[in-house]
Each structure stands twice: as C-alpha cells, then as structure tokens.
Chains A and B, each alone.
Chain A
Amino acid sequence: MTLQPPAGLATLSAMSSTSEIVRLTVNGDNHAVGVPTHFTLLETLRYVLGLTGSKQGCDKGDCGACTVLVDGQPTLACLTPVWEAEGKQVLTVEGLATVDGPHPLQDAFDVHGAAQCGFCTPGILCSAAALLQRSPRPTRVEIQEALAGNLCRCTGYTKIYDAIEAAAVAQAGDGSSQAAG
C-alpha cells in the first residue's frame, strides 16, 4: 500500500529547510517518510525505515559497506541525498531473498564461508547481484572489477570470488541465465 502524504504537504515541505516528505520504493514497498532535507539515503534506510542491513562504515564513499542498488545500479547510500532516490527502485540486502528462499548468492556465501565478520557482506551481495544481472557468467577479473569499491578487511576476497562464481553456476543451472560458455 502506498502511504500518501496529505495533498500539498509534499510541495510545501520540499521548500522548507527542516524536513520534507520523500517517497521511496524500497525492496518493492512504497514509503513516504518525513526526513530532514540533508538526510542521506543510508540514514533514511537505517534510522527511519529500520533497514539496518546496509552498513554505515566510513560514511564517506571509501568502503562500499552502504552499497544498495538504485534502479539496479550499485550506489553508495551514504553519499546519496535521500531525495535523489525518489521515483527509483531501491534494493537493499533485505530485498535479495524471496519467499522461495535466499538469493543464490546468499546460499553460495554461506556454503563457501565468504563472510567472516560480515560487515562488508550486504554491500558485496548488492554489488555482486548487479554484476550477475548484467553478466550472468562473469570472469574472475570482471568479479574483481565489480567489487573494486567494496572493502573487506577479513576474508582476503578469495572465498568471496569463489562464492560469486558458484552462484553464477547455480543460477545458470536454474535455466535463469545463459548457457555456460
């Protein structure tokens, strides 16, 4: 269900310096939230919508822990003004699984031990999900490039790459992507 702010209020508050009503679509759900104008998408996800899967690491664009997908593109939620996400589809780690179970990437990360402390994992899963969407059977170099903006201090990345390759194979096995070449 879409929550509608009272007519006129959105325009009024968009001009106000203290807060505004922003309409977001996050993991398929529509929200109308009243937030200070200077809020980032990350602050809104975590502190207004309670979606704490996206992590606040550096809050400066360095680490990628806050990566979410905006219209399918990996985006740093910590440096995205919340109003830039209006009218777009936001997908966070909470939206990767479906009623049928975890996303193939989540299964593969589990099986391959691709997370240690796990702080980087939500952002990496989002970057990897976008990669598989664009390139269903990525090479290892493509995987490395796709994760260049996601810092992991624990794993050394090898198991993450293994897991993403395994997820690509699993997805292809479902017939949901191109045949292995």
Chain B
Amino acid sequence: MAIIRDMIPDFDLFQPASVDDALALLAEHGREAWVLAGGLDSYDWFKDRIKRPKVVVDLGGVAELNGIREVEGGLEIGAMTTLTEIVRDARVRSQYPLLADAAEHVATPQIRNQGTLGGNAAQDTRCWYYRSGWPCYRAGGNTCYASAPKAMNREHCIIGRSRCVAVNPSDTAPALIALDAKMIVRNERRPNVYDAEDFFIGPSTDITRMTVMKPGDLLTQIHIPAAWANANFYYEKIRDRGSWDFQLVSVAAAFQVSGGTISGARIAVNGVAPYPLRLEAVERMVIGTEGDEAVATEAGELSVLGARPLRHNDYKIPMMRNLVRRAIRSAV
C-alpha cells in the first residue's frame, strides 16, 4: 500500500463565516479558488494532483448554508445540508420522499453523513479517462478517449453527446428536476435562480463544466416548491453492486393524478446523457392518460428514440426504456 502523504499540493485555506465573505473571497480569487463543501469529490481530485487549486474556500463555517427550513411555497434546503440530514428529515420524508429516496441511494452511510446536497449536485463527472488525468476535451485537450474505438465506455452516455460522452453521476440531480427544484446561485454581483433542469449543462454548452456555475458563483439554497408535494413519486437506480455504486441508469418521476388520469408529470433520467435528462416528450404523452401498460410501453419506446450507444453500453437502451416504463406504470 502506498502511503499517500504530503501528496496534496499546497493551497491557501480560507474559512469564511458568512455567504458574503465567501462570495468576496471567490470574487477575489476567481479561477484560482475552489469551493469546498463535504470534500468527498474535491479531495479525490486533490489527492490525484489533477486539480491543484491555489485557494480553497471552505464552507464548513458558513452557518446560513446549513439546514432545512419551511418557507412560503415549499422547503428551502441550504447547500451545506448533508445527505443524511435530508434522508432523516421528517418533512422531506413525508412530502418529498422522492428526494429522500434519491439521497439515500448515494454511496455509503459515511459518505451521506459528510456529503452535502450542494456538493452532490455540483460534483464532477466520473469518466475514468478524465478522472485519471488524461488530456481529453473536458480537460482542455483535443480528443475524447472514451469514444475511441477500443475505449472502455460501458458507463458512458447514449444520448446528448457532443465531443464528451461522460455522464452526470449525481443521484439527487434527477430527483431535483422531477421536483421542479429551484437552484439559488449567488455571486458578488447578483443572485440567480435556475430551474434544476437548466442548472445542469452538457458539453455543447461548456465542455469544462457540469453546471451553470462559473468561478465566483456559489450555490446557496435549493428550493423545493410545494406544487409537487405529496405527488405520486417513483425512483429507481440501477447499479452494479447493491451495497454502493454510481448509477448505471436511474429514473426519478413525479405524477399528479386526478380522477384516475395523470394530470401532471415530471420525469428525469440520469446516467444516459452528460446531464440529467428531463423527458418532456414522455411527460406530454402520458398526461391525460391512465398510465396503463400500453401507455407505459409506448412511453418507454419514446424515451429512447434517437439514443446512440457506444461500443460497450447498448445495454443502457433497454435499461432506460424499462425504467421509464416502470415509472409510468406506477403513476396512477
């Protein structure tokens, strides 16, 4: 066993006590600064010396980013709230169990105790070429190793590729989209509110980022609107191992039902595209139906229209089709 000691390159540590101080530090240090929440994704990068920030801004002391509050029109979750807190919160469990379910599927108890909702949503992709420091497009190079003829790309995307074929690894991301969550992002100049589906971006928007956030930006709160409280929810994550693993494909769905028919639907799938993918065409198709077997089957087919597998991931097409079908079947 290699003793990994003194391996992380030096950085300057700042521990602001307020959001305003954090924003000032981020504005001052720009690209040199790295936001640190639970540190689980960050320290993985630092230990490999692939990401070497000069400045680390630790959010651990910013109390206003912690906790879950009931507010007008929903729940407001601070970006530094841990996944365990979300899993155990009585309001989340009773009104938005979709989010508790998704959070509970993240990794292991230890990682949920330490990992934050903000960090989970903002985490980087797990493509191992990129994570191993290969100079791919995402890393500023000029090729994609994962789509090369002999590449190992079993976990990569089947939809939405654009030079990069890596997928978004977050388990909470599709649930946030299905719940129509609003992501509150602040910088020194102004606050911005993004719909969850717009918060996550793909390589055609910017190949170096997974979210809209740029240097200087801080995710402060996640607002879960009451409009989808107590809807009929469905969550399923397929992974290689039961104990813990990143998703191969996951689905998160919310349905409103009145008089036996689906009156509202929001469905998102992760693990199939470089960003968590909202299935708007499927939503439109199932609204007004009873979500019976025929509808569910058609919805599954519709969801994978246009999917293009890589060499080793064609299994994701039936997997996605089936997960969408199961979600629709559960709706009414």
Question: Which A positions have Cβ atoms within 8 angstroms of B?
Answer: 14-18, 20, 36-38, 40, 43, 47, 56-57, 59-61, 64, 67, 73-76, 79-81, 83-84, 127, 145-146, 148-149
In the complex, 25 of the A-B residue pairs with CB atoms within 8 angstroms, ordered by the A residue number, are: A14-B15, A15-B12, A15-B13, A37-B11, A37-B13, A40-B43, A56-B1, A60-B44, A61-B107, A67-B110, A73-B84, A75-B113, A76-B111, A76-B114, A79-B40, A79-B43, A81-B43, A83-B15, A83-B58, A84-B58, A127-B109, A149-B108, A149-B109, A149-B110, A149-B111
In the complex, whether B142 has a CB less than 8 A from a CB of chain A is no
Q: A40-B43, A81-B58 are in contact. Are A148 and B109 (CB under 8 A)?
A: yes
Does the CB pair B5–A43 fall under 8 Å?
Answer: yes
Does the CB pair A36–B6 fall under 8 Å?
Answer: yes
Seed contacts A79-B114, A148-B244; 13 additional CB < 8 Å A-B pairs: A20-B13, A37-B12, A38-B9, A43-B5, A59-B4, A60-B44, A61-B40, A75-B110, A79-B39, A83-B58, A145-B109, A146-B109, A149-B111
* Closest beta carbon of chain A to B83's beta carbon, Å: 12
Q: Determine which residue in A40, A64, A75, A79 has the highest number of CB atoms from chain B within 10 A of its CB, and name it.
A: A79
Residue of B nearest to A130 (CB): B109
Does the CB pair A18–B10 fall under 8 Å?
Answer: yes
- Per the bound structure, the CA–CA distance linking A47 and B5 in Å amounts to 9
- Per the bound structure, the CA–CA distance linking A40 and B42 in Å amounts to 12
In the complex, whether B47 has a CB less than 8 A from a CB of chain A is yes
Residues of B within 8 A of A16 (CB): 12
Does the CB pair A74–B5 fall under 8 Å?
Answer: no
Residue of B nearest to A60 (CB): B44
- Per the bound structure, the CA–CA distance linking A20 and B15 in Å amounts to 13
Residues of B within 8 A of A145 (CB): 109
- Per the bound structure, the CA–CA distance linking A40 and B108 in Å amounts to 19
Residues of B within 8 A of A37 (CB): 10-13
Does the CB pair B108–A36 fall under 8 Å?
Answer: no
Q: Which 4 A-B pairs have the closest CB atoms?
A: A149-B108, A38-B8, A73-B113, A148-B243
In the complex, whether B332 has a CB less than 8 A from a CB of chain A is no
- Per the bound structure, the CA–CA distance linking A68 and B117 in Å amounts to 22
Residues of A within 8 A of B5 (CB): 43, 47
Please tell me which one of the listed residues B10, B13, B44, B109 contacts residue A83 in the complex, with CB atoms under 8 A apart. Answer: B13
Over the window 305-317 of chain B, the binary record of Cβ atoms lying under 8 Å from chain A Cβ atoms (1 yes, 0 no) is: 0000000000000
Residues of A within 8 A of B110 (CB): 61, 64, 67, 74-76, 127, 149
* Closest beta carbon of chain B to A16's beta carbon, Å: 8
- Per the bound structure, the CA–CA distance linking A36 and B111 in Å amounts to 24
Q: A73-B84, A80-B114, A149-B111 are in contact. Are A38 and B40 (CB under 8 A)?
A: no
